[in-house]
Chains A and B, each alone.
Chain A
Amino acid sequence: MRAYAIRRILLGIPTLIIVTILVFLAVRLIPGNVIELMVAEMAQESGMGEELTVDYLRAQLGLDEPVYTQYFKFVGNLFRGDFGQSLWTGRDILPDIISRYPISIELGLIAIIISLSISWPVGVYSAIRQDTIIDYAGRTFAIGMLAMPNFWLATMVVVYPSIWFNWTPPIQYIPFVEDPIGNLGMFIIPGFLMGTGMSGGSMRFLRTMFLEVLRQDYIRTAWAKGLRERTIILKHALRNASIPLITSFGPMVLMLFGGSVIMEQIFCIPGLGRFFIDALNTRDYPVIQVMNLISAGSFIVVTITIDLSYAWLDPRITYR
């Protein structure tokens, strides 16, 4: 176990290095004409006029030096905690990201709680009663929510109730410290839409795991001993089936970053997703770079943690 842990953590290091290279290269692959376009756009909007040239912008992006120098500068700055400045506002990127982090985390947590409270009962029940009406109904609901694009539902939820019932879901961001209930009220609708959309995936995963566990010998033994179904399901099957579910928390963390982009856009939530989209629309490459880096870095840390806790929780697995 200790050897496995050390190996797992050591393998994370080259992965992180590759992530920095990918993030770094992505910005360097931008075709030159985009930079010219940026110059035109920026000159118009910022009023900087003639001093803003292609060369200036390239220098600003750090594109005027040899590639390897640029890379080591980039990584060196990261180690010193310097994540660069926004092209447009000139402000440090890191504080902006840190202030948005809790907003996206809150939205993501609400979504995950809702998704789990749907996917667990449906997944377990549809596995123990495979191919019955309840199985079909539960799965139709969970997969149906996955099938309906959440931006489609969200658009309708924002607009139609206001016409029919004169009621609009809150789309003004309310900080938690000022009004906790109002804050929760504005997160609950996007959170619910995201959560139901996510539940289909974990429901399917749990159902598959459960179907597999139910065919094991120890379940048959439990039946043969004359145990009640509730005991078999809750004590014998659920414990074994839910350990692998831990591994699906990793992709959920990615959802915290990626999946909330659309919801934050529709419900005007000033989280990380919106920050990222704004940066893409204004071609704010330093910001795009840092956002990609931070989300990938968090994911690597989370997956290592998950792998280690998985190995710790499931003693049957031996690692070399």
Chain B
Amino acid sequence: MADSLGGAPVPTGLPAEPTTTEVKQEEKAHHWLVDVGIRLVKEKPLGTVGGAIVLLLFLTGIFADLSWIGLPDVGLAPYGYNEVDLKIRLAAPSLQHPLGGDNMGRDMLSRIIHGARVSMFIGVFGSGIAVAVSTTLGLMCGYFGGKFDLIVQRFVDAWISFPMLFIYLTVMAIIGGGMIQLVLVLGISSGIGGSRGPRALVFWIKENVYVEAARAVGAPTSRILLHHLLPNIIPVLILSLSIGMGGMIMAEAGLSFLGFGLPPPIPSWGGMISGAGRIYMIRAPWMLLWPGIALSLVIYGINMFGDALRDLLDPRLRGGLGRYGGISEKKLDAIRKKAEEKS
């Protein structure tokens, strides 16, 4: 088990060792992540639903069309996201266009499907950048500590004291909108704030004897950071990656609403809700309805999946229901009565 974590012994309390004896027998057969997957499906039905929604988002996003291998006409979306057909302008849902048409005469279904790609891109890359930034900062502050940490943390303190939306809006007003800028701004600013979690964890992990041992045999700092500390915070990173995705997608939607999001014709769900969707919401309610439903569903799925992962990965929450019991007063009274009758 420990081998799969990059050779570093697992400190007590980290979720690498399986909890049930049943899993213990097959522990050598697969990676610890597979164990987590199995437990997710077995124990967390809501989390599984959430995971399925996330998977659906990814598949839709990837196969919306195959333009990334040079086949823009093949894919899930029946039409292009910016393909105008004036005959279906503001058209109600029909067989050819199941979700209706928008004010420019574009097929709503195709735009929703392509919107999945935009959301996936923002979620994955925004959250990925955030995790990369927070890991780097957290590892360095946690491991070096002292003056370096003291100074860097003042900057982190200052940064997180701004409301996120204010930071986004101010920066977007300065550098202008666009997919890359948006992802960078979202990722870096939430990554700086998120560095506190990994930092606290590293403070605790670096006290382990094996870190001391590695230093004693003269391992370079980079090796200690990457091979001994990093593998131990991976479960926490997976958590922030999954939960962060929802925040990124939501932030983009909020920015689009305020007019600082992605420029048209990029089919972002947030943009669809806020621009033309609001103007035509009385004549063509489907323009407002579908993107909102898609957005809510995806955020819900990501959160439920992330929560289930936390239940499974967080070392402090280990041990299922059994430790607490969770028996209602009624049942408890019944048990007490039975015990009294017996005696």
- Give chain A's interface residues, CB within 8 Å of chain B: 11, 14-16, 18-19, 22, 26, 29-31, 34, 128-132, 136, 139-140, 143-144, 146-149, 151-152, 155-156, 159-160, 163, 200, 204, 208, 211-212, 214-215, 219-220, 223, 228-230, 254-255, 257-259, 261-262, 265, 276-277, 280-281, 283, 288, 291-292, 295-297, 299-300, 303
A211 near B161 (CB under 8 angstroms)? no
A258 CB contacts on chain B under 8 angstroms: 163-166
How close is A106's CB to chain B, nearest CB, in angstroms?
Answer: 18
Query: Which of B313-336 touch A at CB < 8 Å?
Result: 314, 316-321, 323-329, 332
Q: Is B304 an interface residue (CB 8 A)?
A: yes
Given A148-B292, A258-B166, A300-B161; A229-B323 close (CB under 8 Å): no
Set of chain A residues within 8 Å of B316, measured between Cβ atoms: 212, 215
- Chain A's closest residue to B325 (CB) is A223
- Contact surface of B with A, Cβ cutoff 8 Å: 43-46, 154-155, 157-159, 161-166, 169-171, 173-174, 246, 250, 253-254, 257-260, 270, 273-274, 278, 281-282, 285, 288, 292, 295-300, 303-304, 307, 310-311, 314, 316-321, 323-329, 332
Find the A residue at minimum CB distance from B150.
Answer: A11
A137 to B27, CA, bound (A): 34
Instruction: Report if A11-B303 is in contact (Cβ < 8 Å); known contacts: A254-B163, A261-B165, A292-B162.
Output: no
List, in ascending order, chain B residues with CB within 8 A of A136's CB.
45-46
* In the complex with contacts A11-B154, A136-B46, A211-B317, A200-B303 CB distance below 8 A: yes
With contact pairs A139-B46, A159-B281, A277-B258 given, residues A15 and B158 touching in the complex (Cβ less than 8 Å): yes
CA distance A257 to B327 in the complex (A): 42
Bound-complex Cα distance A138 to B232 (A): 33
Interface of A is mostly: helix
A-chain residues with CB within 8 Å of residue B154 when the two chains form the complex: 11, 14-15, 18
- Beyond A19-B162, A34-B174, A295-B166, 18 extra complex contacts between A and B, CB < 8 Å: A11-B157, A15-B157, A18-B154, A18-B157, A19-B158, A26-B174, A143-B303, A147-B303, A152-B292, A211-B311, A212-B316, A214-B323, A259-B163, A262-B257, A283-B173, A291-B166, A292-B166, A299-B163
In the assembled complex, the CB of B269 is this many whole angstroms from the nearest CB of chain A, namely: 9
Closest Cβ–Cβ distance, residue A249 to chain B (whole Å): 14
A–B pairs, 19, beta carbons within 8 Å:
A19-B162, A31-B174, A139-B304, A140-B304, A143-B300, A147-B246, A147-B295, A215-B317, A215-B318, A258-B164, A259-B165, A261-B165, A262-B254, A262-B258, A281-B259, A288-B170, A295-B161, A295-B162, A296-B158
